[in-house]
Amino acid sequence: MALLSIFFFFKFFFSPPTPKEDVPQSIYAFKVEALDGSTIDLSKYRGKKILIVNTASKCGFTPQYKGLEALYEKYKRTMVIVGFPANNFGKQEPGTNQEIATFCQANYGVSFPMAAKISVKGDDMAPIYHWLTEKKYNNYSDNSVKWNFQKYLINERGEMVAMFPSNVTPDDKSLIDAIEH
């Protein structure tokens, strides 16, 4: 009986952690849940640039939704924006997926794809953010998400080519130049 107790003790406390979900090598392999419960399949954006932005409804940078929507309208033939609501910073995205969708539409007329709320850092980081933040997947850089509205630009071939911090607004020349090249 004592041996059995020791076995369960070691099994429970010293078992290796369960492996995280596999992270695909290609951005085009990701299929993520949208705010409305449908699926956003990034493979359908092959040949377009993809701007990925972690968003929040109660952040000082939230007005960037307006600029992101204008950017999307201007470049939607050659680029897509995908928003990823996250509550990782200051609990600034407390809403449900439905509340986030309603907020984005009512306040900013957001028409670009919005994913379901995820985590962009920490132990529960979504696989797509592992891809965006780890050089072994993105072949660009190891980085971390510092705050809401950090932006990642993927080129038409699915390669990460730029990262922009939160304070780089959607109309910033550096972002526009990267999109236009």
Active-site residue numbers?
59
- CA 176 vs. chain centroid, Å, equals 20
Sign of the C-alpha dihedral, residues 55, 118, 115, 133? positive
Say how many C-beta atoms besides its own lie within 10 A of residue 88's C-beta: 20
Class of residue 161 by CB neighbours under 10 A (exposed 0-12, middle 13-18, buried 19+): middle
Nearest to 143 by CA among 158, 124, 125, 129: 129
160-164 vs 31-33, strand pairing mode: unpaired
